[in-house]
Structure 1
């Protein structure tokens, strides 16, 4: 197949959307497909298969967008036509300006479109201080549907949670529920010692963008209220606009200062393998690949039970959950796990059996299947329409509908 992948915010792999997009691109190419990528990432200019479009100049908002580590793509019809024309299918990652333009062009060209659902309403609304507005969320989902998703041949939801959220607002959709998957490199390391000496430090990890909806403050406060606060070191793996504020809060509240930094994949795997506990306090989350990566590396997770987060469904028991936005509840869970090393070992082993359903190769096979099914369905639909053009809805031949060649005409009539 020739697949055109369209992503408004493709850049460095420091966010879930970019990671999901790049995993799909690499997987399809590995499987022998031709992949054309439309994105605004200037660093990919000139690379084979990449069609780089300009970005919006939003004046006073440019610095804020840069702090978030993204750039917003500005559609360029000429560039996009080169990338889309002749493709078998177009896959759009998110429903912003570039994705919507790609949808229009693909429909003009008669090319089927699949669409990923990687943007929870709250992810967008948090930037305009409306994260907790139910009305704003409803209106945004309606906008997503009416302006984009209603035209998609199929929708990819990473979790049943976000599928249910969206369909509760807009009604049933033709969809596939497929995890974004965890790369095979995220595996357990050598057997670790779960017992700690009396003064030996504990290491906690949270991977996520430094943004409001990820709730880093809750983790900082939870550690501050733990009976082991003087022995806990926390690593905040990621990057984002709230780094300065989080550093300032940690300096005031924590005995051992956290490590804030973005890790390469290789570095992150080592961090996860050597840590004692993974905490995911995020209030808003479509899937949280980061949590799955930690689980695959052998870490036991402690997860916020937020009703707006799919991550809570990764919990194997109540001890893996704490009341969201409640530092005292989190502190209680942290203390329990640190005081029960054998239970932590047993829970880690139990999670190890869950890995297969999140295996990246398995998930990418299903994504490929979705694209192939969409192409096949579109071809079947085209064939039906072409038949109708020859015969009409009642099955009778339409004047002018016969092929020019007499033998071909007779064959069509005989097999109609």
Structure 2
């Protein structure tokens, strides 16, 4: 069954935003499965999209630019045209253009679904309110009342995210589907396990390479990893690599300046990311808040043991095969302890790397998109009843 699918998402083209990356990967995979996919988004026009102007936020726009995110301008003519083209509309975020698209879809009887990708804490942390529960709860409540209550089907990227909104009164059918990882990460991991990992580049020879991937923002907590290095017995050998960019870049460069090997900050392609992950010795995911954390799955798919912050506001701890891959969230000393354990036991680490690499196959993009497509078809069938 070929379906015309409209994705509604404010920012689509960035590679520094997990939701946008997932949207692009899903669109590509859905097309491979014979569907037609178009995008309603901000930015430049194209054959595959309905383009909206970018809405510049007063006061907050410089911060949003650093986060690589923009709101799209609510142009009803373009939005209505896009919705009328589609067989089914899928909204990634709960903002103005998604609300408008849902409104028009309901008006003309077009089936629609939504996703819950963005935790309120992802927004409030940027302005120093990430721990303000009353603010975050108000966002959850308003998202539900003004947007999600209007849907029968909601995609959640993790069981953690589904439980978070379920306990806050969200009544729609929740479809827990991983955002999924590309086959090339799984294939690279298979090569690394079977043929051995590649030799380190000259700049990394004799060093212990520890990686973290993600936007450089407060809630991702790269500072916890930087501060953990001097507490490690391997401090003189550790080379940190942070793949990503964001508003905390200058602060983290300054924080890491005194380390024996100052951190490397780089914004890389997916192919280069695979190369770096394949040469690394350990992966750390220190974020306090995640709805899933595809970057963590990609890391252990290539054959790395992850060390994950055991945060109650994050889905990422679900990936830990046992407690040795967890540390107390926000605690640099406990992170140093966990890193030292794995660095002290290279043979055990090599064995566990294989288990993680095998585990990653559960999160293949092709499997996720097949389940996502089933959700869309279910929504279409429900609309006919």
Structure 1-normalised TM-score?
0.87
Displacement after TM superposition at 1:105 (Å): 1.1
CA RMSD of aligned residues (A): 1.4
Residue 257 (structure 2) aligned to one of 251, 262, 267:
251
Aligned-partner Cα distance in 1 for 2:62–2:280:
35
Q: How does 1:163-242 map to 2 (within 5 A)?
A: 163-186=162-185, 187-188=188-189, 189=192, 190-192=195-197, 200-242=206-248
Residue 341 (structure 2) aligned to one of 336, 348, 357:
336
Displacement after TM superposition at 1:171 (Å): 4.1
Instruction: Please tell me whether the aligned partners of residues 100 and 148 of structure 1 are also in contact (alpha carbons under 8 angstroms).
Output: yes
Residue 318 (structure 1) aligned to one of 301, 317, 323:
323
Aligned-partner Cα distance in 2 for 1:266–1:11:
18
Aligned to 2:110: 111
Aligned to 1:125: 124
Structure 2-normalised TM-score?
0.94
Q: Give the unaligned 5+ runs of structure 1.
A: 382-416
Displacement after TM superposition at 1:128 (Å): 2.8
Q: Give the unaligned 5+ runs of structure 2.
A: 200-204
Aligned-partner Cα distance in 1 for 2:109–2:49:
22
Could you say what secondary structure the match of 2:10 adopts?
coil
Instruction: Please tell me whether the aligned partners of residues 149 and 170 of structure 2 are also in contact (alpha carbons under 8 angstroms).
Output: no
Instruction: Please tell me whether the aligned partners of residues 181 and 298 of structure 2 are also in contact (alpha carbons under 8 angstroms).
Output: yes
Aligned-partner Cα distance in 1 for 2:126–2:332:
24
Aligned-partner Cα distance in 2 for 1:162–1:297:
25
Aligned to 1:364: 369
| Structure with more relative contact order (C-alpha pairs < 8 Å, separation 6 or more) | 2
Aligned-partner Cα distance in 2 for 1:171–1:374:
17
Instruction: Please tell me whether the aligned partners of residues 301 and 358 of structure 2 are also in contact (alpha carbons under 8 angstroms).
Output: no
1:75/1:193 CA distance change after superposition, 3 Å: closer
Residue 34 (structure 1) aligned to one of 30, 33, 36:
36
Aligned to 2:48: 49
Deviation digits for residues 225-262 of structure 1 (CA, Å, limit 9, x no counterpart):
1111110001000111110110000003x110111011
Displacement after TM superposition at 1:62 (Å): 2.1
Q: Return 297-306 or 23-32, whichever deviates more.
A: 23-32
Aligned to 2:277: 272
Aligned to 2:145: 146
Aligned to 2:202: none
1:169/1:8 CA distance change after superposition, 3 Å: same
Deviation digits for residues 65-110 of structure 1 (CA, Å, limit 9, x no counterpart):
1111111111111011111104211000111111111111111111
Could you say what secondary structure the match of 1:179 adopts?
coil
Aligned-partner Cα distance in 2 for 1:86–1:182:
29
Aligned-partner Cα distance in 2 for 1:263–1:120:
25
